[in-house]
Amino acid sequence: MHADLWSFTLDFYARPGVEQACLALQAHGGNVCALLCGVWLDQNRTPFDSARAGQIRQLASPWHDQVVGPLRALRTQWKSAAATDEELGALRERLKVLELDAERELLVRLQRLIQDWPERGAQRTGAWLEALAGDAANRAPDALQILQHAGEDIT
């Protein structure tokens, strides 16, 4: 098991189908960092607690909405113009790094929140992932299932 959420995220995101599933859930309003935190909690067999899931959303949503989301929106907005403007393309690449740094910071904050929660107290159920996916789970059920299956394959 990974000692930290960031390392887990890097390894898990690189698994086949995970990136595309995360992007599909993100397109339907899912918070990818919260989703990956949910997979990690399921992997650690942390007993599901709806109040704690609310704490994760309460921490993750404002950071995503105020920091990660605006960086992503600007990067996306610049995509077509950056294809023909070399300087803007370089700025867009720097923005991409900043967006990733912001996601990493969110994962660090999430780990700090959950670090003292009990582990190994339950079977892997996918309850954390489902709860943290919210409405995106209903809009992209196939993507959620890909994440669940990818999480089941981790030993």
Percent of the chain at pLDDT above 90? 87
Span 43-63, average pLDDT: 95
The answer, as to whether pTM is greater than 0.85, is yes
Rg (CA), the chain: 16
Span 7-32, average pLDDT: 95
Closest listed residue to residue 69, CA positions, set 97, 38, 19, 103: 103
The C-alpha atoms of residue 126 and residue 121 are separated, in whole angstroms, by 14
Q: What SS3 state is found at 18? A: helix
- Residue 136, number of CB atoms within 10 A of its CB: 21
pLDDT digits (tens, 9 = 90+) for 73-121: 999 999 999 999 999 999 999 999 999 999 999 999 999 999 999 877 7
The angle formed by the CA atoms of residues 116, 121 and 127, to the nearest 5 degrees, is 90
pLDDT digits (tens, 9 = 90+) for 119-137: 777 676 789 999 999 999 9
The C-alpha atoms of residue 73 and residue 51 are separated, in whole angstroms, by 30
Contact, 23 vs 136, CB < 8 A?
A: no
Domain positions in the chain: 5-152
The C-alpha atoms of residue 147 and residue 17 are separated, in whole angstroms, by 8
Tell me, what's the pLDDT at 119? 78
- Residue 2, number of CB atoms within 10 A of its CB: 15
Closest listed residue to residue 105, CA positions, set 3, 9, 18: 9
